[in-house]
Structure 1
Amino acid sequence: MNQGFQQFLKHWFKTSAGLAIFNQEKQLIDKYIENLFGYFLVQLGCVSTENLTQNSRISSKLLVDDTVAPDFVQQKGIYWVQAELHFLPIGQDKADVVILPHTLETVDDPYYLLRRVDNMLLPEGHIVLTGFNPIACMPFRLKYFSKLTGFKKAKFRRANRIKEWLEVLG
């Protein structure tokens, strides 16, 4: 996992520009997950101190990350597992919803992670993805982030490529 970009996002989402984008993402996630039913929700990766799962009706929530402090997670009503994302400790057909907040941008092999997520999802499960569009944010990247090493470590993928991967997985 690319902790450089993940740590960058944790700090950047606290700035005024980053917080505005994060709040928009959180509103979209909240709107989408509030009506999803199930028994087990998994969030892979953590880019903020905000609870991205709080609007979910699902009672069992798990955050898998290699850097989050357990005391933060437990106070938010989420169980926490410290693990590398390429060694996910979740079995086949176990999760109803999996949230990936900018997670595909932090892993070396995003298609491998999506295969693992597909494996852990129940047949009618849902994947919730957030990420930056590398083409649309190019001027923003050049103007504001060209000197920030954490942002340079991101592994951006086009939305069409991710859509193709998801179609292959079914």
Structure 2
Amino acid sequence: MQGLRDWFATTAGQDLAEREARLLSRRLAGLYARRVLQIGAYGGGRCPTVYGEARQWVMDDWPNGPIDLHASSEVIPLASGGVDVVILIHQLEFAERPHQVIREAARVLAPEGHLLVLGFNPLSLWGLRRILPVNRQTPPWSGRYLGARRIADWMLLLGLTPRPRESLAVLPPPLQRWWLQRHPSRVADSQSLGPGLRWCGGVNLVMGQKRVNGAVSPPLAWRRRLEIIPGGLAEAGAGARRTRRETWHDAG
């Protein structure tokens, strides 16, 4: 993942991260999200905005990075059912075992919680860009891109109900720079594409909800503390921002 983090530190990567963070912020505004776990850190520690009394943590396998938990996305050191929202930031296409990553994300979700998956779209200009020999073996072009339908199928197998996907960033960085040079007063694409253009977006946001029969609504059901698994690999990151992320063991 270090190569992907390096790419997100570039101008093109920072631009994409900013647009993704805005999209995630809008989605979080409509969800019950008292505890939000973001798996995958952007280069500058960028996070979507959380609202109200929500707590937010970032987990990544990034020693001394701007994170709160140092752990692999394939083994999340948290107790099952303790997180309202899990966000996977380009984890599936760069993981050795993507099935295990999404399985762990679903495990730590609380009943009625939401899983948000950001990933590059193989059926887009970003997907076609991977064919070019230039930097083909480096992120973000070296990933195994997964279609939104496949991710939705995985969610169904794990008991999550998928919602309609969203997408953004039609143009990959080389074409986006060309567009901006020819049209300096216009942006390359909108923040979120409409239903008719979602198929060509370079980045998909696939969201699923963990529906449980007979589950009580989240505000009434929440009584337990969010717990780190005893003996887990989690440790506080040096860049943790305690102004918004206080402690894993707050009573809520």
TM bracket, shorter-chain basis: 0.7 to 0.9
Q: What SS does structure 2 have at the residue aligned with 1:31? A: helix
Q: Distance in 2 between matches of 1:68 and 1:53?
A: 22
Cα gap change, 1:16 to 1:45, in 2 (>3 Å): closer
Structure 1 runs (4+) deviating above 6 angstroms are none
Structure 2 gap ranges (5+): 160-252
Q: What SS does structure 2 have at the residue aligned with 1:142? A: coil
Q: Residue 15 of structure 1: CA displacement?
A: 3.2
Q: Percent identity?
A: 27
TM-score by length of 1: 0.79
Q: Residue 50 of structure 1: CA displacement?
A: 3.7
Letter in 1 for 2:78: I
Q: Residue 68 of structure 1: CA displacement?
A: 5.1
Residues 66-106 of structure 1 show CA distances to partners (whole Å, capped at 9, x for unaligned) of 10536x34xxxxxx111122221111110000011101122
Q: Distance in 2 between matches of 1:145 and 1:58?
A: 46
Residue equivalent to 1:43: 38
Residue equivalent to 1:167: 156
Cα gap change, 1:37 to 1:57, in 2 (>3 Å): farther
What is the aligned counterpart of 2:129 among 137, 140, 162?
140
Larger radius of gyration: 2
Cα gap change, 1:147 to 1:92, in 2 (>3 Å): closer
Q: What SS does structure 1 have at the residue aligned with 2:131? A: helix
Structure 1 gap ranges (5+): 74-79
Whether 2:140 is the aligned partner of 1:154: answer no
Cα gap change, 1:57 to 1:39, in 2 (>3 Å): same
Number of residue pairs matched? 158
Out of 88-97 and 17-26, give the one that drifted further.
Answer: 17-26
Whether 2:28 is the aligned partner of 1:33: answer yes
